[in-house]
Structure 1
Amino acid sequence: MEQYIIVYSKYIITLFMILYTVLSFFRVFCTETGRKKYDNLQSAFIFVIQFAAFLTICVEKGDVDYLFFYAMSQIAIFTAMMMFSMIYPGINRLLVNHMCLLLGTGFVILTRLDLHKAGKQLLISAVSLAVALAVPLFIRRCRFWKKLTWAYAGAGITAIGAVLILGQVTHGSKLFFSLGGITFQPSEFVKILFLFCMAAILWEDSSFKNVALSGAVAAAHILILVASRD
């Protein structure tokens, strides 16, 4: 029985991943009512995928601790889905589903490698989701954030540019630099600055000019990362 679970679970996971992806495309071309139906189906598919993946892990490992972690991770994902929908009724649930799918996939991969590290990641993710819930409210109240387009771009390019110039080479890549005995990996923070920059450029006008402008800013970031072999 255990062997059947291990063998066939991968087909179940693949099937529901394909169905999830197909629904993502169908959702774009349907009415608001249809989108809600597809969103709900996608949410259900996420939990089916998680169940199949963790069932395989539990069978392979034979340890009840993995079952406990599975329960905690599903509670975290379900809570995130519900809280985002309740606090922001007009939110794009497709994005929330994508976030939860990727988050759950990360839990599966990390659990197979190291349950202790997966537990730490679950705690970090729970705190991060709680912070993420408050970010849109904070930005709405502080409207000046929308006007800092080039501040975001400049800070991001300067940060990863500093790594390119001052960074220490590790396994052929420049990822860090040290200042006053403290080591920094700016790319993790630049990801957030980059998203803020893209949002500031496109939030009011997504014309071809602004799309091209956002592409140029993205290219500047990417070229520096390529040069750093990040």
Structure 2
Amino acid sequence: MVSVITSFSRITILSYIIIFTVIDLIQIFEPKLNEVVGSILTTIQAVMIVLFLCNSAAVIYFAKENPYVILTTVFQLIFLTVIAIFLNNLSVPASKALINNMLLMLCFSFVFIERLNFNKSIRQLINGVVSLVVAVIVIYFLRKIPEISKYLFVFAAIGIVSLLAISFIGDIEYGARLSFNVLGIRIQPSEIVKITYLFFIAGCIVTFRDFRGYLFSTIGAGMHVLVLVHSKDLGTALVFLAAYVFLTFIAYKNYILLGLEIGGAIVGGIIAFNAFPHIQTRFIAWLDPLSVVDDKGYQISQSLFAIGTGGWLGSGICNGMPAKIPVVVSDFIFAAISEEMGAIVAICLIIIYMCSTIMFLNCAFNCSNSFYMLVVSGIAIIFGIQTILNIGGVIKFIPSTGVTLPFISYGGSSLLSMFIGFFIAESSEELWISAKGRRRYDY
């Protein structure tokens, strides 16, 4: 019975994801769809999300015979509904396609964390609820702050002090200082600092409309990145650096500065490679994982075995062996998805991430305020870069960097950061309208 349900679900789940992805592509390549047609398409996507979650939960329930799976799924559906309601009320206008993408990513997170570790799936749901509450509170206060860009140095101080604290007294994980442990709750400040970092850079650019803006943003970005390097959190340092490079290019459109920044990043990367042995280890594992499969290359080798075993249609939920991959619930969850749902679903998920990044950029470029335009552009850049780094590391396209897959990987701090960024992107125009004492910035 279980094998029949699992085998049948391979096809039904594949169908839901393909339909969802095709609609995503239609909305990207036909942005001026009739309002009625657009509403129908997003409604179909919402139905696919519910079917995907319920179908996947049914397979897990029959495979593990855990009655709590059904109850958890009910709470997950309620949670997703609440998110949609909040975002539709906050956004002016709401990007329903982007909201659907976020909800589908959360469904992937719930399904695969539940399949791998039921207790962690409960914690991830709690992380999601907390992230939702905090994101709503952040939006509420941002509405009340006029000319928020003037607080750029406050944002810089918050970010640098937080990173310095973790750099000196944080717990060491995988060779880097990444987090604090407070009452059994692991907090990773660098995830939250991503938001304050973007506020700082955007504030520099719109407050100082000359070379000073570039100078201050460069100095501040350099300090953030250097502290992260001191913590040996080089994956996050790369994300911060990429956000700075692309944001300054969007603002100034200066190819000379872009070339200098990329050149500086390459030089910094070479220095970091020679200075940190664990980076050299990751390169060895990337170049030839099977030659060091018993040690350095074990994680990436298991990831590639899992992806290869899954084939095009996957082995079926609970039929694979993703638990053999170290830290599979966080850094390598994409490998678990590829193994049990197959390469077609994995490719569809990559397309959904690509479409989401484009939708984020559309939100940014449709914002009439330069400050929030830059902030949301930075959110899009971080979202896209993290996706590339995570999936690229999992499939051996690039060395593993240790960054999470947005909205899917297990982790409260990462989820909170993404929630806040997503809510700011969806409500950026409304934030501009609501803030008292507003004035338009031009750079």
- Settle same-fold status: TM greater than 0.5: yes
Partner SS for 2:104 = helix
1:100 aligns with 103
Question: Is the 8 Å Cα contact of residues 164 and 227 (structure 1) preserved in structure 2?
Answer: yes
Mapping of residues 39-58 of structure 1, within 5 Å: 39-58=42-61
Moved more, 31-40 or 136-145: 31-40
1:137-169 alpha-carbon deviations (Å, 9 max, x no partner) = 321122253322243234323432454456554
* Counterpart contact for 2:9–2:55, Cα < 8 Å: no
Match of 2:118 among 115, 125, 139: 115
Q: Distance in 2 between matches of 1:3 and 1:103?
A: 21
The 3 A distance-change label for structure 1 pair 162 and 127 is closer
Number of residue-to-residue matches in the alignment: 222
Look up the SS of the partner of 2:149 in the other structure: helix
In structure 2, which of residues 108, 133, 138 is the aligned counterpart of residue 130 of structure 1?
133
**Equivalent residues in 2 for 1:7-156 (5 A)?**
7-9=10-12, 11-12=14-15, 14-16=17-19, 18-19=21-22, 21-23=24-26, 25-26=28-29, 29-31=31-33, 33=35, 35-156=38-159
Deviation at 1:87, TM superposition (A): 4.4
How far is 1:106 from its partner?
A: 1.6
Q: CA deviation at 1:172?
A: 1.3
Structure 2: how far apart are the matches of 1:175 and 1:69?
A: 30
TM-score (norm 2): 0.41
Residue 373 (structure 2) aligns with:
none
Return the structure number with greater helix share.
1
SS of residue matched to 2:88: helix
Which structure is higher in RCO with an 8 Å CA cutoff and minimum separation 6? Answer: 2
Do the aligned partners of residues 53 and 17 (structure 1) sit closer, same or farther apart at CA in structure 2, a change above 3 Å counting? Answer: farther
CA distance in 1 between counterparts of 2:134 and 2:120 reads 21
Q: Displacement, 1:217?
A: 6.5
* Length-normalised TM-score, structure 1: 0.72
Task: Provide the rounded CA distance (Å) in 1 between the counterparts of 2:108 and 2:220.
Answer: 30
Is 1:189 the equivalent of 2:189?
no
Matched residue type, 1:153: A
Per-residue CA deviation, residues 24-45 of structure 1 (Å, 9 max, x unaligned), is 5236x32472544443333333
Aligned-pair identity in percent equals 24
What amino acid maps onto 1:30 in structure 2? Answer: K
Closer, same or farther: CA 5–216 of 1 in aligned 2, 3 Å: farther
CA contact (8 A) 1:12 1:52 kept: no
Unaligned residue ranges in structure 1 (runs of 5+) = 205-209
- Give the whole-Å Cα distance in 2 for the aligned partners of 1:221 and 1:48: 43
